[in-house]
Chain A
Amino acid sequence: MTATVAAPPVVNRPSPVRQSLLLSRRAIFAVLRQPQVLVPSIFFPLFFAALNAAAFDRITSQQPAFAAQFDSFLDFLLPATVLQGVLFGSTQAGTEMANDIENGFFDRLLASPVSRTSILVGRLAGGAVLGAAQALFFTGVLVAFGARLHGGIGALLVLVVCSALLGIGIGGFGVMLGIRTGSAEAVQGSFPLIFVLMFTSSAFFPRELMTGWYEVVARYNPISWILEALRDLISIGWSTGDAMVAIAVSAAIAAGSVALSLRALRRRLAAAG
């Protein structure tokens, strides 16, 4: 009697890139399947754009420093509206990661032959795609209501790239919190920080019109650097320097948050043994 040795089963393991693509598709569908999650990050930026344009257009048009640069308050608000939507929406990546941990899906991913980095890349790539889509949507709506893009298609591209990078950047902070706490509530509790980040920047008013300590805080807020470069691109016209500043600052925020979330993932894996 001869013993037959069974051939090992063929495991069709996708490449890490394919794994990341599959996981990012899952992240995008997870958001699209819950429209109530998207509504606040779409409704509130558009509501505040409409409200602030009607409330402050007359006052700001009487300020020479403002009137010299912007045709209308809506033009001024365009990049802030886009970033507001992206920042508010990006916290969802962290919430979803925490949900995965709470409901055990994260442990099932760890037990499967999925690359650890793909878990993170998939989640953040989903945030980047949603950020870019939000940028196109908000720009379309505001242009339909009279905002103008003096920087043309180049300015729009930079706006989309910055939104995608900030989708990664803010999403990365959320993911880091989600991994560290494993609590969706804790991630959602970080939302006021995003609010503070926006309100202490030049999102809603030009720094030239601010005074005192508020102007100093806004000057050193990195969100102001991105917004001001984007505003120049949108309201004045194409400038390679402004495009580089906006992309570089967004990329730096994204790199920092990816590093932090990677570290949190490594620690969690080490703790799990």
Chain B
Amino acid sequence: MTAVDARVDLGTVRSGPAAIIREMVARNLRGIRRQPATFVPTLIMPVFFVITFSGAYGFAGRAFGNGNAMSWYAPMAIIQGASFAGMTMGLSTARDFESGFFDRFLLAPMGRLTLLGGALAAALVRALLTTTVVLLVAVVGGVAIPGGALGIATLYLSALGIAVVAALWALGLVYRVQSTNVGPLIQVGIFMAIFLSTAQVPISAMSGWLPGVARINPMTNVLRLARAGFVPDQLNPPAGFGVSWAEMWPGLVALGGTIALLAVFALRGMRRLTP
């Protein structure tokens, strides 16, 4: 055996960050195959929401702008599915902490940012899967996309953005608690962010305390971005169908700002970790 071979055997050859991230995504996808029970509910629940919300609230179709409740609820369910994708990434990291596998990551010769990047990339892949499946179900169920390709692009952009937001929130908490017990706190944060917005009805249909909260909740603008190609803009009704820059930029700012804040939260949590 040559000296070079020995060095390889000891695992001292470092892979680049891209290769490590790719391997982390592949490991996560293998986890879906091995334990479908951890993934299937995150796929089924958004589909269930599209069907039930549209069936239950169909009578109020006019309130949603185009008379079709499913066009209003499909983007919301997609955003929810994407948030589940980010959340489950956090929970799967928590399981790695409990099993001791995460300690091996920390001892491995790779940067901490790569570790975070791998988790975020896996969340993005999961979100791509759920978004595509729920969108297909919605289209089969009769949802039209008058906004065309740009409408689909803004939907995917907002879904992937929310997956990153949810993953950063979940990872920030998991890095601090290092246990799956933090699951309910992750869920409550995500549920509240989504439902205290225009998730269910437009602001004009709300009453009491909710419109005030929904107006300042960044999720309202993200949902506006996600729905841009599906329903007429709720804030500028005369604009009608079609994606306008006025509909897009508040959502992009909301996503960018939330991601920046939560990235700091997750990175500070990660910095506390010692191998």
Contacts and interface: CB of A to CB of B under 8 A. Distances in A.
Given A59-B60, A214-B55, A43 B45 contact: no
B58 interface: yes
Contacts of A210: 55-56, 58-59
A206 B199 CA distance: 20
By CB atoms of chain B within 10 A, which of A47, A54, A55, A63 has the most?
A55
A189 B41 CA distance: 9
Contacts, number: 71
B206 A211 contact: no
Interface in A190-221: 192, 196, 199-200, 204-205, 209-215
Contacts of B209: 54
Given A196-B48, A209-B59, A54 B41 contact: no
B201 A59 contact: yes
B217 interface: no
A53 interface: yes
Interface in B171-213: 181, 184, 188, 191-192, 195-196, 200-201, 205-210
A52 B267 CA distance: 36
Contacts of A200: 52
Give the dominant DSSP class at B's interface: helix
Contacts of A2: none
Interface in A53-78: 53-60, 63
Interface in A157-211: 189, 192, 196, 199-200, 204-205, 209-211
Contacts of A63: 59
Nearest to A206: B59
Contacts of B207: 54, 57-58
A53 B195 CA distance: 13
B20 interface: no
A39 interface: yes
A51 interface: yes
A35 B192 CA distance: 20
Contacts of B191: 44, 47
Nearest to A57: B207
Interface in B40-81: 41, 44-45, 48, 51-52, 55-60, 63
A36 B201 contact: no
Contacts of B45: 192
B210 A212 contact: no
A214 B184 contact: no
Interface string B225-261: 0000000000000000000000000000000000000
Interface of A: 36, 39-40, 43-44, 47-48, 51-60, 63, 189, 192, 196, 199-200, 204-205, 209-215
Given A205-B56, A211-B58, A215-B55, 4 more contacts: A43-B188, A54-B207, A210-B55, A211-B55
Interface of B: 37, 41, 44-45, 48, 51-52, 55-60, 63, 181, 184, 188, 191-192, 195-196, 200-201, 205-210
